[in-house]
Amino acid sequence: MCTRGQIIASLFVLSALEIGFGITSVALGAVSIGRSRAQELHLGDSSPVWSGVCFLICGVCGIVCAKKKSGRIMILFSACCICGLIGGILNFQFLRALAKRTEISYPRHVASMSMACLGIAGCTLSAWLTCRLASNEQQRMFLERDHSLHHSHEMTDKVQEITDNISNGIPQIMQNGRPT
């Protein structure tokens, strides 16, 4: 089982990679749009830009999630991961359709599809790590609550021992929970 520190470190690395995938995808999309302006603009030419923006947002939210680790940030990050998955899948589908219809630059097309696949994989792993981190945080909070509850029972036992020592084994009359 992974420790909390390993999960957070993995989340930082994956988030940094998602930011890199996003920047690369946006750059590839911008190049594709620039080259298409000279010819004819097609539907899938701008899809790497949009999936890249989704990957960028996912990466930034992942870094914030790894730093803050609050429940709302984890939910926001999970939602961003799902949006990144959807954006990557749509990008991949648009690029596939574009490759069937037009004559495009093969290396740029392969690079765009590779960035989409890597972004999809990163979003999937990030969502899984967020679930692991949330589970880990929930266990930590439960143990803290259990420890504080155990501590309050110990204090109650100590108070009982003190009252037993005061009475020296002689039963005392209790009034409102206090010996008189």
Domain ranges of the chain: 4-141
C-alpha to C-alpha distance for 73 and 134, rounded to whole angstroms: 10
Res 139: pLDDT: 84
Assign residue 103 a region: left if phi > 0, alpha if psi is -120 to 50, beta otherwise?
beta
Both structure tokens of 67:
């730093």
Res 17: pLDDT: 93
Most confident listed range (59-68, 94-103, 150-159): 59-68
Mean pLDDT (whole number) for 28-41: 76
Strand partners, 178: 175
Return the sign of the alpha-carbon dihedral for residues 17, 23, 27, 29: positive
> 18: pLDDT confidence band, cut at 50, 70 and 90?
very high
113-123 pLDDT per residue, tens: 889 999 999 99
Both structure tokens of 123:
């979003």
40-88 pLDDT per residue, tens: 666 667 788 899 999 999 999 999 988 887 888 888 999 999 999 999 9
Cβ 24 vs Cβ 115: under 8 Å: yes
C-alpha to C-alpha distance for 133 and 6, rounded to whole angstroms: 10
**What residue type is assigned to position 142 of the chain?**
F
User: Which residue blocks in 69-180 are alpha helix, DSSP H?
Assistant: 71-101, 106-167
Mean pLDDT of the chain: 80
> 22: pLDDT confidence band, cut at 50, 70 and 90?
very high
> Nearest-CA neighbor of 71 among 4, 131, 1?
131
Residue 92 has pLDDT above 80, yes or no: yes
Mean pLDDT (whole number) for 20-24: 93
Cβ 14 vs Cβ 122: under 8 Å: yes
Q: Which residue has the tokens 């589970």?
A: 135
Q: Which residue has the tokens 């989704």?
A: 54
Fold of 4-141: Four Helix Bundle (Hemerythrin (Met), subunit A) (1.20.120)
Better-scored residue on pLDDT, 3 or 126: 126
Residue 5 has pLDDT above 80, yes or no: yes
Res 104: pLDDT: 65
Q: pTM of the predicted model, to two decimals?
A: 0.71
C-alpha to C-alpha distance for 178 and 7, rounded to whole angstroms: 50
